Structure 1
């Protein structure tokens, strides 16, 4: 099956980029039988909709962190598929009952923050349930009684697939249910679905699938739902080369959603070989957005050759999301990679504030007096 072509056909073109808000998705709800189940801290509606009549129930939610929107885009692409006359869509709603909360944190989405309006990380509120959004998510879980959960997130550009020099475009996790990170039947089911998704995704992003850290934290929603006896899979949408809008990653998540559901039905998930899961490369913090090597600088009245790195900050300015590059690290940077790398070949660094890179300084500088960089990029 040509999943890329399938995505092109069912992509929700009205959703683009990183700053996806309730205002962007509300018009799309007109196509679906969506219900308002409650409100956020600031009174924004939180929507739920359920489709399908299959025996296996799967609960999916996205944007519990407001600035993590890639999976929300992919969810609506997926919904267009299952709302169509496509045979695959018909098969999925025949085999599954699917419940969606496509934007758990609409206040954070508007402000482009990880936290909700009370500055609380909803993914650390699974025991206390102190926030209205957390309470609604748990209420749907308790009432829907899913057989599987898909917990949909984004991860930062800093993550690579091991030390391969490739970005972790998608990371998965079968969350732990205890401190020892033991594998019981519940966790094993999630593992085997991930193994199946990884096999499919290797066709599109070879070497760029990783495993997220499985340290146990019962305050995290995935760990808590696994502890409650429901196989839960964490999806982390990451970086693909030159894809800062996460439009290619969106396609990969779309493929993963379909593949994950198909694997629930097709894989012998109870008796599967969990070794295949643990062989998947681990997430590793090895990337910067920009890495500049062999740069000559004046340091402590001496000329030295060094490296430095810059990282984008996602800043909402006048309601518009901007990616602004700031210097974040200076030194050897051994074992580190840049999504954009530049070898200065010992050219001299100059800027407007002392001719030496400084932490938290905008990445605007010149190399060799003639090569100009603005916002990290060579002009």
Structure 2
């Protein structure tokens, strides 16, 4: 099976870029109504609708949700691409619908999606509200989880561009986690069920993004949704969509989320050798904070009349302006940075930094500057 070809073929063209909100997905949801069961299951703080999408008749039940954090939309796109595949007459699509019942909340935090924030409209991180369930969006998820009683949960997120795979120092394009159920981070049958699926997804993804699959930190926090559901004895998998070279809109990464989702349905209910599965899982490299968007090396500055050679970095801030997502590069750190890589790196060859009459970079300022008054950098990028 050519997973990447399928991911490309069934990509939903309506959904592009990272600014995906309720108005963006409603036309796509509307097209699913003839084949999927669509239900409004609640309202957000600002009274936006929260929907569930249900398909399949199989005995194995999977609950999945995306955009719990409103500015994490890559998995939402991947989910709709996967649903587009399930609409087809592909043999694998028919098998999945026969063997599984899928229930998806494609946008749990529609207010945060519209505002392009991690939190909901009450400034609460829903992924720290699982235990107390103070927010209406989390109450919706709890109610659906209780009524549906899933065999597995898929908790779908994005992670920042700063993450790479430990030892390989490549971008962590997709990362997974089987969340802990206690502070000792022990492994029980519930975690091992999730681990088996993660290993299958990892095996397939290695064919497309070798050494770019990470294992997310499993520190235990009962307030986190994955930890809470695992504590309630439901195998839960955290999906983290990360960075791929030159793919800031994450329209390539969504394809790898599609591949992960599709390949996961070949792993559930397989007979496995538990010890081997745990070893394979622990051999997935951990996520490591080792990247910046831009690194500028060998830059001459003048600070208090003293010449120095430094390295510095710039990082994109994502800001919605006039309904469009903008990437604004700002100077983030000055350091030797020997343990870090840049998604884009420039060797400034000991040229002199200048910006707005200063010969040194200022933290938090826009990454607009010159080197030797000849080479211009605008919004982080070299102007050619």
TM-score normalised by the chain length of structure 1: 0.98
Match of 2:13 in 1: 13
Match of 1:22 in 2: 22
Distance 1:85 1:273 in 2: 33
Do 2:199 and 2:277's aligned partners in 1 also have CA atoms closer than 8 Å? no
Match of 2:358 in 1: 354
Match of 1:262 in 2: 266
Deviation by residue 1:127-153 (Cα, 9 ceiling, x = unmatched): 110000000011111110111110000
Do 1:188 and 1:269's aligned partners in 2 also have CA atoms closer than 8 Å? no
Equivalent residue for 1:142, pick from 140, 146, 153: 146
Match of 1:303 in 2: 307
SS at match of 1:312: strand
Distance 2:275 2:284 in 1: 19
Q: CA deviation at 1:265?
A: 3.5
SS at match of 2:5: helix
Match of 1:328 in 2: 332
Q: CA deviation at 1:270?
A: 5.3
Sort the Cα spacing of 1:272 and 1:94 in 2 relative to 1 into closer, same or farther, 3 A.
farther
Deviation by residue 1:21-41 (Cα, 9 ceiling, x = unmatched): 100111112223210011000
Match of 2:200 in 1: 196
Matched residues, number: 379
Matched, 1:152 2:152: no
Q: CA deviation at 1:326?
A: 0.3
Q: How does 1:221-300 map onto structure 2 within 5 Å?
A: 221-268=225-272, 272-300=276-304
Distance 1:267 1:8 in 2: 31
Deviation by residue 1:189-208 (Cα, 9 ceiling, x = unmatched): 11111111111100000010
Equivalent residue for 1:312, pick from 310, 316, 320: 316
Match of 1:54 in 2: 58
Distance 2:350 2:177 in 1: 42
Distance 2:275 2:354 in 1: 61
Q: How does 1:70-85 map onto structure 2 within 5 Å?
A: 70-85=74-89
Distance 1:330 1:246 in 2: 28
SS at match of 1:349: strand
Matched, 1:170 2:174: yes
Equivalent residue for 2:42, pick from 18, 38, 41: 38
SS at match of 1:198: helix
Sort the Cα spacing of 1:149 and 1:270 in 2 relative to 1 into closer, same or farther, 3 A.
farther
Distance 1:201 1:272 in 2: 19
Matched, 1:4 2:8: no
5+ long unaligned stretches in structure 1? none
Match of 2:103 in 1: 99
SS at match of 1:348: strand
Deviation by residue 1:144-182 (Cα, 9 ceiling, x = unmatched): 011111000000000011142210000100000000000
SS at match of 1:25: helix
Q: CA deviation at 1:318?
A: 2.3
Distance 1:166 1:300 in 2: 37
Sort the Cα spacing of 1:324 and 1:257 in 2 relative to 1 into closer, same or farther, 3 A.
same
Match of 2:346 in 1: 342
SS at match of 2:267: helix
Deviation by residue 1:57-76 (Cα, 9 ceiling, x = unmatched): 11110000000000000000
SS at match of 1:34: strand
Aligned Cα RMSD in Å?
1.1
Deviation by residue 1:322-366 (Cα, 9 ceiling, x = unmatched): 000000000211201000000111111111141210100100001
Matched, 1:117 2:158: no
Match of 1:88 in 2: 92
